[in-house]
Amino acid sequence: MPRTPQNPPAGDRRVRRTHAALQGALIKLVEEQDLGQISVADVAEQAGVNRTTFYDHYRDVHELAEAACTSTIDTLVESLPALDPAPADPDAEPARSLVAFFENLAEHAGLYRSLLGPQGSARVIDHIRGRISASVHVTLRLNAGAPPESVTTTDTPHDVPAAFTAGALLGVATDWLQRDSPRAPTEMAELTWPLLVAGHTAAQDTRT
């Protein structure tokens, strides 16, 4: 019979620390070699744990990579609802919320390139697309005058403009990564921003 943890909060903290150690180890390793060349033993050694501990949390390196990518992207996408064709501060840099997005992709280019490329993870691609789509949906609803308490990123309806914007942004990011990031993150944000504004404006026009 499985042993019941005596102190769940401490156990939760240990799990989080182990996840962070394993994900951090993978991110470091993937900057030096392709994801397909990294073994469980490599990650365990880098993280300072044994293989048994690794398998207590993840089935394989690919599942670990998916977890590392999605946990990072969940935090990163939180900035995307700030994309607003009419920002509250007209003097603010309009593409500012995209700069961090592209900077993070560039910082961990090896990981994202492996997961978003032709041999990548469909689960990660779908997760990122869904998270961006939900964020864009919220922005469009708020810009259309919906009460903030009525808008949520969970259980979002079928929203064609939001899905289109999410697919376009993910497509631009993936193409940029596959070409070894030839433009700086700031330039990518500046080039992408007007396209997003046009999409938001067109979407709002269809809802009025």
**Domains of the chain, residue spans:** 8-58, 63-207
Average pLDDT, the chain: 80
- Looking at domain 63-207, its CATH class is mainly alpha
Distance of CA 84 to the CA centre of its chain: 20
- What is the CB-side half-sphere exposure of residue 192 using CA atoms within 13 A? 27
Query: pLDDT value at position 49?
Result: 96
pLDDT of residue 88: 52
Position with higher pLDDT, 169 vs 45: 45
Cβ partners under 8 Å of residue 206, min gap 6: 161
Q: Please give the Cα distance from 174 to 105 (Å, whole number).
A: 9
3-class DSSP assignment, residue 147? coil
- What is the per-residue pLDDT across 125-152, written as a single tens digit (0 to 9) for each? 888 888 888 877 777 777 677 787 777 7
Say what the pLDDT of residue 1 is: 42
Mean pLDDT of the region 59-71: 86
d(CA 38, CA 29): 7
Rounded-to-integer distance, Cα 36 and Cα 14, Å: 28
8-58: CATH, from 1.10.645.10, 1.10.10.60, 3.30.428.10, 3.40.50.10860: 1.10.10.60
Could you read off the pLDDT of 83-134 as tens digits, one per residue? 555 555 545 565 677 888 898 889 888 888 888 888 777 888 888 888 888 8
Please answer whether residues 117 and 178 qualify as being in contact, where contact means their C-beta atoms are separated by less than 8 angstroms.
Answer: yes
pTM beyond 0.75: the answer is no
Reported as a single tens digit per residue, the pLDDT across 181-202 is 999 999 999 899 888 777 666 6
